[in-house]
Amino acid sequence: MGTEPQCGEVLDLGVHAQVFEVCAAPIWIYDSTFSVNIWGNKAALELFGVDEAAFTAAQLDQLGQFTPEQLRLWKRLNAQVHQDVEIEKKEINVTVTCGEPVPGFMKLDKPKLVMRASYKPIRLRDSAERERDLTLIQVTAQVSPTVEDNQLRLVEMCNNHPMFQFLFDESGKLLAANKRALCNMREHLGSCENYNLQNYLAIGECDGSLGPDEMYKEAMEAIFVLEQPCHRFPQLRWSKRHPGKYRWVLYEMWPSIDPVSQQKAVLVCEQNISQVKALEEQIKKQNQRLEAQLEEALAQRDPVHKPAIDIDTPADKTLKLLDKIMRGHEVSAREAIELRDAIIQAGDLRQPVNFNEQLMKNSQTVLDSEVSQSLIQLLSSRRPAKIKEEEEEGEEHPGPGLGHPDQDLRHIYARSNVTQDSVKALIAMHKNLPDEVMDVLAKVDDWQFDAFKLNEVSGGRPLSLLSYALLKRCEVADKFQMDDHRLVKFLMRIEDGYPNNPYHNRIHAADVLQSLHVLVVRGGLIGHGYCDEVSLTSCYLSAIIHDFEHKGVNNDYLIRVSDGLAVLYNDRSPMENHHLAASFQLMNSDEYNFLRKMPNKLRETLRKQIIEMVLATDMKQHFAIHSMFQAKMQLNGSVPSGGNGSGGKTMRTSPHTTNQDGHKVFDEDQRSLVLQVALKCADLGHLASPRIVHKKWVQYLEEEFFRQGDREKQNGLTVSPLMDREKNGISKSQVGFFDIVALPLFQSFAQAFQDATPMLDAVKDNYAMWRDEAALFANANSARSSK
C-alpha cells in the first residue's frame, strides 16, 4: 500500500505513472473543473474498454445520453467532488452501479457490475512545472456477481412492485421512493425537488373524524414519539385520471433508519384496498340480509307478540336506533325524524307516545271504547275522557268530594284474631303436615298452582302456612335467626290484614307468593346470581305484604274521593305506600319483630328492596319499569338459559355480583329492576294458571270492580270503565289487557330468563282462550245484527 499517494501530496506524473501502471486496481486522475479524465492506468482503461484518447475526452460529450433527472444528479455530485475533494481536501467514497452517471466514470459494458470508489485530493505537477488541484479516483472493490444479481433483482422488484413504497425522514421529507410511487407523487403534486408526506396525505380525504393534517401528526407521533412497531390508517383518494371516481388506500408505516445518514426515518407503504372495501360492503349487505332472514325464521318458529298499539317509549325507540347503528345497519332520515318527533311529543320518555290517543283510536277498530278507557285508567297518569269531563264540569254530587272522603272505607280492615294458641298451632301443623296439605304443598314448585285449594286444606290460612313453609324450606329463616314465634305471629297478622275482598285477599297474596317463588327458583334468578339470601327474603316478604290492608278499590278512586291515604301520600301510589308503611310498622314493633338478630346493614338492604318491589306493582308505573328493564337487560346482556337454576329444592349462596371469572356482570340497579319485574309478573301470576283457575280469578276481580262501581254510583261519581255491573265487565277487556300489558311483560322476562318460558307459554294459552271467546262473541253479535 506504500504506492498509494497521500492526501494533498504533490504528484509528478512522469515519476508516479510507472508505479500506478503496475497496480491491479483501476486508478485515474480526474479534473472536476473541466469534467475530464487527465490520465488512467492500464486497469482503468481495461475497466471501461477504451484507449487513452477516448478515456481523456471530455465527459460532457457523453451526458447527452442521460435523462434530465440523471443529468441533474451528475452535476450535483460533480460539484460535491469539486468542493469537498479539490478545494477542502477531503476524501469521499461512492458506490457506483452501471447506468448511473458518476463524475470520472465512463459508460460501462458490464451491466451487473457494482463498484466502490474513493475520491482523494491530489496536487499534480505537469511537465511545465505547473501545479493543479485534481482528484485521484481508485476503485477499491467490485461486488461479486452473485451479490450484485440479488441486489439488482431486489431493486427491480422494489421499482415495479404494485405497492407504493416511500422512505421519509423525521421532518416528513422524501428520501427515496420506488418508481411507481414517484410517478404517482408527480402525477398528484407535480414535479418538484422536495416532496413531503404531509403534502402527499393532503390530496386524500380521511376515513373518520381526523383530517389529513391530523392524520399526518398522529402518524408521525406514533412512529417517532411513541415508537409503535407499525401504524396503519385508511384514506379515501380521488382519482386524477378518472374524475368522479375514487379509491381506498391503506397506509402502513414502520420505523426505519436512513442507511445514508443513519438518522431515524419511516418506511411508508401504500396499497389500493378498493376491492377489499367493495368486498366488505358486499359482505355487510349480505350479512344484513342473513340477519333479516334469521329474524324472520325465528319469528316463524317462535313468533314474538306485537301489541295492537305502539307501546315502545321514546327511550325504547332511542335504544333500538342506537343498537341498529352499532350493528352496522343504515339508519334512514325518516327513522331519525320519527325518533325526534317522538321525543318532542313525549311528556315522559318512559311512557308510550300518545298512549291515550292510540287506545281511543283503536277503540274504533280493535278495542272497545270501554276497554280503551279502562286501560287508560289503569296505565296512564292522565284520566279517561269521561271521568276528566266529569271533573272539568265540576258537577255537584251528594257523595264525597274534595275534603269529604268515603267514610265506608275507614272500616274495611278486618280484626286480627291472632292468639298465642293459633301461633303454636300453625308451627305444630308445619312440623306434622296433614296429608291433604302436603299434597298441595308438593306442587309449590310447579308452574301452575291452585291457591284456592290451598285455602281449603289450610283452614283459611293459605298465606301464613305457605309463607312459613317457604321461609323454613329455603333456610333463610335459620340463616337470619328469625324468631319462630314472632315470625308466625307477624305472618298471621299480615294475613288477617287482608280484607275479605273478592280479589285482593289472602288467597291472592298466597298465589302471588307461589308465583314469585317459582320464578325465583326455577326461572333462573337464583341460578344466575340475581337473588342471594337477602334478596330471596325480600322477594318472599314483598309478595306477602304487597296488598296488605287493600281497600278493594283502585288508586284512582282513592284520589277522586280524597281518601286519607291519597291525601297522606300526595296522590302518588297511595295504596302501595300504605301496604308498605303499615307492614313495616308491624315489623318494627317488638311483638312482631322477627328480624331483630339480622345485622342493620342487611336490614337496610332488605327494606330498600321490599319498598322498590311493592311500589313497582302500581300499574301507573308499568311502562316506565318495563321500558327500563328491557333497556338494562339489552345493554348489559340478558341471562343465558341452561340448567343453572337451583331447581327449587335448596337455596345456596351465589356470588351475586360476579361471574365464574370474577368479573362484575350486573349492577344493583339491574338487580332491583329484575326483582321488580319478577314481582310484577307474579302479581299477574293467575294469567298463567290453568284455564279454569284463571277464569275464576277474573270473575272475582270483575266482582271487585263492580263493587267499586256500586260505590261510585252511591257517591254520585261517574262509574269507572268496565265497573258498571249493568254492563259488560273486565272479562270483556281481557284480550286488550293481554295484548298491551301481559304478553309484552311476560315475553320480556322470558327473553331475559329463558328458564321462565313455561310461564309465558301458559299466559299465551289463556290469551288464545280469550281470543277464541271474543271471536265467538263477535260472530254472535254479527249474526244477531244481520237478522
Indicate which residues carry an active-site annotation: 504
Grid coordinates representing 571 are: 296522590
- Spatial distance between the Cα atoms of 278 and 248, rounded to a whole number of angstroms: 9
- Is 626 within any annotated ligand binding site? no
Q: Is 435 known to sit in a ligand binding site?
A: no
507 is in an annotated binding site: yes
Query: What are residue 257's DSSP bridge partners?
Result: 264
Matching residue, cell 268530594:
401
Written as nine digits, the cell of 164 is 407504493
Positive/negative CA dihedral, 642, 647, 651, 652: negative
Distance CA 572, CA 618 (A): 10
> Residue 683, annotated ligand binder?
yes
Q: Tell me how far apart the alpha carbons of residues 153 and 143 are, in angstroms, rounded to a whole number.
A: 15
Q: Please give the helix or strand (H or E) that residue 93 lies within, else none.
A: strand 92-97
Alpha helical stretches, state H, 442-505:
451-457, 462-473, 476-479, 484-496
Burial of residue 51 (number of CB atoms within 10 Å: 0-12, 13-18, 19+): exposed
- Those residues whose C-beta lies under 8 Å from the C-beta of residue 17, and which sit 6 or more positions away, are 39, 41
Q: Is 382 annotated as a binding residue?
A: no
Rounded Cα distance between 626 and 399, Å, is: 37
Asked if 249 and 204 count as a contact pair (C-beta separation under 8 A), the reply is yes
Q: What φ, ψ does residue 137 adopt, rounded to 5°?
A: -105, 130
Residue 115, SS3 per DSSP: strand
What b/e sequence results for 378-392 when a residue is b if at least 16 CB atoms lie within 10 Å of its CB, and e otherwise? bbbeebbeebeebee
Known binder of ligand: residue 397? no
Euclidean distance between CA atoms 105 and 138, whole angstroms: 11
Contact 527, 650 (CB under 8 A): no
Rounded to whole angstroms, the Cα distance separating 617 from 680 reads: 6
The CB density around residue 772, as the number of other CB atoms within 10 Å, is: 11
Give the C-alpha separation, 249 to 273, whole Å: 5
Has 82 been labeled as part of a binding site? no
C-alpha cell at 479: 340463616
Longest dimension (CA), the chain: 146
**716 Rama sector, left if φ>0, alpha if ψ -120 to 50, beta otherwise:** left
Place of cell 291519597: 566
Q: Where are the alpha helices (DSSP H) in 637-690?
A: 668-683
Cβ-based neighbour number of residue 118 at 10 Å: 17
Q: Which helix (H) or strand (E) holds 420?
A: helix 420-431
53's enclosing H/E stretch is helix 52-55
Measured CA to CA, the distance from residue 497 to residue 550 in angstroms comes to 8
Is 430 labelled a binding residue? Answer: no
Q: Report the C-alpha gap between 227 and 213 in whole angstroms.
A: 20
Q: Is 504 annotated as a binding residue?
A: yes
Sheet containing 164-169: give its strands across: 174-177, 164-169, 264-272, 246-257, 231-238, 204-206
State which H helix or E strand residue 786 sits in: helix 757-786
Q: Which residue has the cell 280469578?
A: 697
Nearby residues of 141 by Cβ (< 8 Å), 6 or more positions away: 115, 116
Known binding residues:
504-508, 546-547, 683, 734
Known binding residues for Zn(2+):
508, 546-547, 683
